[in-house]
Structure 1
């Protein structure tokens, strides 16, 4: 155990050098919420009674590490609360890593089987030329999950409004920070002062105490500040920047080769969660997600879901395409966290979409 923890610390330190993160950029300032149960399995009331065939089949426990706790990853929590993982013969033992670097380190150290992280971590690990490589096998989100809020109400926002203003943003090298920076470049804004040295849990508090003219937040914190009258919604980074592969399910190449059935079952379960999310009522969605977000009102859960649905966060086919992979590497190079000569020419070195192609038994 001591050796495992030591290895985990060393690998995490190496990955921190690259400042790689996804979704909430290594942390979301949503209030921390425990898993519904110690094992991360679905709440009993939310699961249907298993059939005799399901109870007789021995289930496989998967050690799963989520990057942060965020409604941005709703399909995964739906798959847990509605029993879709159990239908596929899996028990998900979930922990929260608080960062893509830590989630990737857990995979390398063997303390996690599958991690939900930024796909850039697989690129970094590959370029280190170590003993293990990571492979992306399911693309959960295809938009950035942060939103821009203003202190003063703005009737017709334009990105040029950020000129000469201060924006409270995310740490250097995190996905939301890179998306913000690339969006400013895209919009021709060169003189916005983006603050990147405030810890993510302290961002909202810093803004409400008077710091900054604008702030970049994830849901449901963004909607919370708006509801309290402390900020005004002005833009979606996901809509402004367009498609971007922000969060992926990743495992080591060895684990995928040794447990293809587990990976396929995992992919099938999350796909069921995404499909259910697209057809369920607001009340049903809020009920399914509430155990994962204790202290967050039903109203704000629904508000958050609608914001993410409206910007097309969750693709119907969770595939990391060659085009999206190219955009990912372009953003990494543009933001100085990947050298042009380190760009991976063949995405198959770190991507395996064969399981996505077989969702639901399809060939």
Structure 2
């Protein structure tokens, strides 16, 4: 049998969406006759990005609970009931063989209803500190695929499989795309290129740091590919000229990575996994506004292997320029950082996750 039915759920940020798409692509390559449906949250970026990747998606009326007291929380019970009802309807209609959750609001109702109907469930947890949704769902899941050691604190040990995080297939061969990338971004081949990534929504402090140093970059012959994020694009698009290319979102991440000589990035789990495969010098500026400060822990795990450099957000004004120029001016350091981070890559993650899903089909 090859006409299996898979439902994948996860979203809110690229860190949840792209792993789900990578898993779907791997399963589709193994089972071309299989059907795939994604379930996301209405109004979130998955409703656009998943169809662009060639898959069907349905949206639930769901959002997270705000951590502080706010009137937005008043609608949460209604959204949850609505989403559970629709998720149940989807499960009954589609009759999936396996349901895969990659985190985010929408995966909660969908995975919950699938487990009630005894449909095999796989959780793919990207972070060193799991979100509330995946912690709640773990008891009913058959397999939990993780990227970090030590998650027995949160999940049943017998269900955990360390696979690494899925990455997009097009990142595995970026070394052959340098010329195409320089052409795509219209870059001067005689200058170094800095890629700045603050996540799909953007990172205010990173954006402010880049804005205040545009003259510094120009004076040092640095060209900048600046992904400022959805929330900040209107504010920063005016700088899109000469040596600076400003983007709300980078649809060709493979070319952005291929073009870059140095990368400045947050330290979300998905970004860290991608950067290990890319193998370029990285300056991590972790977000301090996440549960258990897990981005700093993600970054420190790489820095401890002499595979990246860490600048804490609170120190960005004092440390960024010196740290950055230290890398720019040292070819041996660039080489060392690039080679060391590449050693930490788990490029077979997507295949291993698909292997675990296959076991549940037997």
After TM superposition, the score normalised by the length of structure 1 is 0.31
The structure having more radius of gyration, on CA atoms, is 2
